[in-house]
Amino acid sequence: MRAGRFLMLALLPLLAAGCNDFNLASSWKDREVKVDGYDHEWGAVEGLQAEGVTVKAMNDESTLYLMLSADSGWAKKQLLGVFHQDLLIWFAPQGSAKATRGLKASLVPSPFRNLPQSLRDERPYLEAASHQLSFIKPGDAEYPRPLAEGSKEAAFEVGDEVGEVVWELAVPLKSDDRHAFSLDAKPGQLLLFGLQATPIHALDGLGAPAFTAGRRRHSVDPGLGGPQPVEIWGSLALAAHP
């Protein structure tokens, strides 16, 4: 996707982290985390829920791990990819005016697989879908950049766990020879953080949101019906080394 198309929509104003109750604290990674779309490693990790989505985070010196899950309602349908939306995950240093880094995570259903009619139908639906992750750097002509197939630069998987849709992601904190993209962050740092589902009628993504006071939500095309896209804004406190 060309950067010009990605930046075609107007900037979205966000609540500053201090004005929002969604202040997520990452836990120090003290166990192996396998990014496989299952939440087996996350049971004891405290998270936050907003708009039907539960968000949990772990990090070590080099990597941030995120787990998003939903078990009912419109939020679950959006994580299932029913509306063919992208989920944009934004990051910025505390005090930044705009998002400086982001991830665009997409679940693309197979055109040969019908929408799931019940909980029992979700596993084959998810297995038939492709999971796509792209890196975002607003203002950089080389981005968005998709994660290459087989690359170890980051990870993204989607699965189901007893009727719950689970997204797992891993992204490096610092760039090195193997990781051209990173969050440019370090353990113990406080980041501004946002989750933003693209509108159903605009699947090319959104421009870099500004971390300023006030916001307006995206409306759904009245001709399509359906839910408001998931939007969560706040902060993410990376865990420091114990």
In tens, the pLDDT along 132-171 reads 899 999 888 989 999 988 888 999 999 887 788 999 999 9
Higher pLDDT pick, 175 / 82: 175
Within a 10 A sphere around the Cβ of 142, how many other Cβ atoms?
10
Bigger pLDDT: 225 vs 194 = 194
User: Has residue 184 been placed in a domain?
Assistant: yes
Please give the pLDDT value at position 225: 52
Task: Please give the pLDDT value at position 33.
Answer: 94
Averaged pLDDT score across all residues of the chain: 79
Q: Residue 132 falls within a domain, yes or no? A: yes
Percent of the chain with pLDDT over 90: 42
Q: Is residue 203 part of a domain?
A: yes
- How many angstroms separate the CA atoms of 205 and 135, rounded? 12
Return the pLDDT at 72: 84
Q: By CB neighbour count within 10 A (0-12 exposed, 13-18 middle, 19+ buried), where does 224 fall?
A: exposed
Domain extent at residue 147: 3-216
* Chain segment 120-136, per-residue pLDDT in tens: 677 777 777 778 899 99
Q: Is residue 222 part of a domain?
A: no
Residue 200 belongs to domain with CATH number: 2.60.40
What's the structural domain count of the chain? 1
The residue with greater pLDDT, 110 or 229, is 229
DSSP class of residue 42 equals G
Residue 234 placed within a domain = no
pTM listed for this prediction: 0.82
Q: Which tokens is 177 given?
A: 């020879």
pLDDT of 119:
60
Domain for residue 192, yes or no? yes
Q: Is residue 236 part of a domain?
A: no
83: pLDDT strictly greater than 90: no
Residue 172 covered by a domain? yes
